[in-house]
Amino acid sequence: MKNIVLIGFMGVGKGSVAREIVKVSKMVALDTDDIIESMENRRIKKIFEEEGEEYFRALERKVARWLKKSVENTLISTGGGFYKVPNLKKVGTVVLLNAPFDVIYQRILEHPNAEKKLKKRPLFQDLERARALYEERFPLYLKAADIVIDVDGKEIPKIAKEILKKVKAK
């Protein structure tokens, strides 16, 4: 089976959905941010602070090339900007988790570790800038996706089921 690549804005729930899919399927999961942190032996926040965003984006492209060459039958969750890698569609079936910005922000705030979740995300330091980034990316996410899943108001298990069903039907 092809890989499944989860894309979507910061905080939309890519990680939670990936963990659920692993629970209910035979797939194993990888996360592009985790791969980058291990490659660099430092946190994303540190990489942004010490090297800047473009350095991080180049690492994402490197990871994408490796995934395409070496990984299959895997659920791949990605950072919110990973959709920009040029070979995205070749990595696997691209599934967008889609929700309005305010729903995403609310979801982060309701999390017991909300402060930590915001702090570790360099592009979510300022609410209005994050909103602008969302607006800018929204049409690009839609364009990048093979499958769009609206997640607003849905429980994680339902989202996971929907993804597996739609990917199979592709």
Residues 68-107 that bind ligand S3P (CB under 6 A): 79-81
13 interacts with ligand S3P by CB under 6 A: no
Cα–Cα distance, 108 to 3 (Å, whole number): 27
Cβ–Cβ < 8 Å for 7, 75: no
Sign of the alpha-carbon dihedral angle for 131, 136, 137, 139: positive
Cβ–Cβ < 8 Å for 13, 159: yes
10 interacts with ligand S3P by CB under 6 A: yes
* Segment near ligand S3P (CB under 6 A); pick from 96-104, 121-129, 147-155, 162-170: 121-129
Give the interface size with ligand S3P as a residue count (CB under 6 A).
Answer: 9
We find the least distance from the C-beta atom of residue 24 to ligand S3P, in angstroms, to be 21
First-to-last C-alpha distance (Å) of the chain: 11
Residues 33-52 that bind ligand S3P (CB under 6 A): 33, 44
Residues at the site binding ligand S3P, with contacts judged by CB under 6 A = 10, 33, 44, 79-81, 121-123
